[in-house]
Amino acid sequence: MQPRPRHVKIAPRLAFILVAMTLCTSLGFASEKQDSVTLLIHSNGMVTQYRAYPEAAIKLLFLSGDAILEPDSSPENWKTLASPILNKIQTGRVYDTQRRFNVMAVTFGKQLFVFDALFGSDNAVTMSQLIRATGAGPRDRAEALDLAKLYLALSYYHLADPDRIVACPESNSTEQNGIGLSGRIGVPDSPQVVQDGATYTVNFYAVDPSGMSSIKVCHWQLDIGPENLDARLSAHHEEFRQSYSEAPSQTTQTTKKPQFSRSIMANGFTDDGATTDIQTWASSDGPGVARIHFYYKSHEKAEKRMQNYLLNAVAVIEVRPWLDSQGKSVGTQALVIRINDSDPGLIASEISEDAGSVLEISCSSLGNLLAALNRDLPDWKH
């Protein structure tokens, strides 16, 4: 395939793309300390200025500097969570001004902390910032476990009741989550909390939030101290059984990057006339990857699909040439944050278009998507 001139419709987005690309250089999410940015919050007919964390995520998702906050009192209905931090904070959801998507949020005074699976390990840094701001470091094992559950509910489970997603002893599992997780994966002592000085290590198994694994279970290990929380997530399903049998007490994340295993392959077609090659890949640390290649009989339809991705994206992080195996440009490639087609959640996608096809590779975690693509962005530490 030979390179072809890009359609003029891309031109109006170049200014936005350049702004988004400058944000990319500040995505140092894995640092121990995060900077905040001012965000104007609209709620109950009033506009209030908040100091919002993490800065890069806020700039990426709320480029206008405005957002809508709606309180969510779900934690009040959780039966077993009694962390003192709940008496200090307000949980809620932050929407963009068009209400296309929302992310989980916590407010404390005039500070706002946002969480989403899209940002992976950055959620732990944000939680650490929240713990320091509220002085809510755990004083005993029960408080450590409660903080761990709250962290998961905010970061990955959209404020779902932790008792419905965390595996517990078999005598209680049917009542609480209805699927007998402990019996199925052989962890009757989940959850575990071990104290080492002022730090508590919490180990437990929970329903896979991505739905990309065959048994839909993930292993979590969190180290929680007076001012910091560190989290490690690893898959627990058929594709990675050997890793667990060799080291049942450890996570499978033995390397810096996750491992991927193909789980589903299929073919299909779309309403706009494309035939599709579909693959899903399970990941050793939870969020898997979906790959769909759309093949068209005309470049106009491929162009239209690409334009729809760009125009509807929440953020366009990067646009660059799509290169073939010889390094020649055959089209355009974009890295975007967009709204999931099946729910209002956010996903990261690399979208590539050539003369007759569009390739979409997506994941609910930007860090895992980059790992699957075997590439990095400036200062992205995941």
Cβ atoms of 338 and 101 within 8 Å: the answer is no
CATH number of residue 287's parent domain: 3.40.1000
Rg over CA atoms, the chain: 21
Structural domain boundaries, residue 274: 8-13+260-373
Claim to verify: residue 71 and residue 211 sit in the same structural domain: yes
- pTM for the full predicted model: 0.80
Based on the fold, state whether residues 72 and 212 are members of the same structural domain.
Answer: yes
Is the residue at 254 inside a domain?
A: no
Cα separation, 6 vs 332, in Å, equals 8
> Per the domain annotation, does 379 fall within a domain?
no
| Secondary element (H or E) of residue 299 | helix 299-312
- Would you call 332 helix, strand, or coil by DSSP? strand
151 inside domain: yes
Written as tens digits, the pLDDT of the chain (382 aa) is 333 334 434 433 433 433 343 344 334 333 455 688 999 999 989 999 999 999 989 999 999 999 999 999 888 888 766 678 888 999 999 999 999 999 999 999 999 999 999 998 889 999 999 999 999 999 999 999 999 999 999 999 899 888 888 877 654 443 444 444 544 554 556 788 999 999 999 998 887 766 544 446 778 899 999 999 999 887 654 444 444 344 334 443 444 577 777 778 899 999 999 999 999 887 777 788 999 999 999 999 999 999 999 999 999 999 999 988 888 999 999 999 999 877 768 999 999 999 999 999 999 999 889 988 988 775 544 3
Please check whether residues 213 and 65 belong to one and the same domain: yes
66 and 215, same domain (yes or no): yes
Identify whether residues 193 and 170 lie together within a single domain: yes
User: 378 lies in a domain?
Assistant: no
201 inside domain: yes
- For residues 194 and 288, membership in a common domain is answered with no
**Both 60 and 97 in a single domain?**
yes
Strand arrangement, sheet containing 286-295: 260-269, 275-283, 286-295, 357-363, 346-353, 329-339, 315-323
d(CA 120, CA 249): 22
Of 221, 246, 271, which residue constitutes the final position of a domain? 246
Domain end marker among 246, 279, 299: 246
Q: Report if residue 23 sits inside a domain.
A: no
339 and 314 in contact (C-beta within 8 Å)?
yes
Q: What total number of domains does the chain contain?
A: 2
Q: Is residue 139 part of a domain?
A: yes
**Are 218 and 304 part of one and the same domain?**
no
- Do residues 282 and 214 share a domain? no
Domain co-membership, 225 together with 307: no
Residue 111 lies in a domain: yes
By 3-state DSSP, what share of the chain in percent is helix, strand and coil, each rounded to 5?
Answer: 30, 35, 35
Could you tell me if 218 and 278 lie in one domain?
Answer: no
**269 & 214 share domain:** no
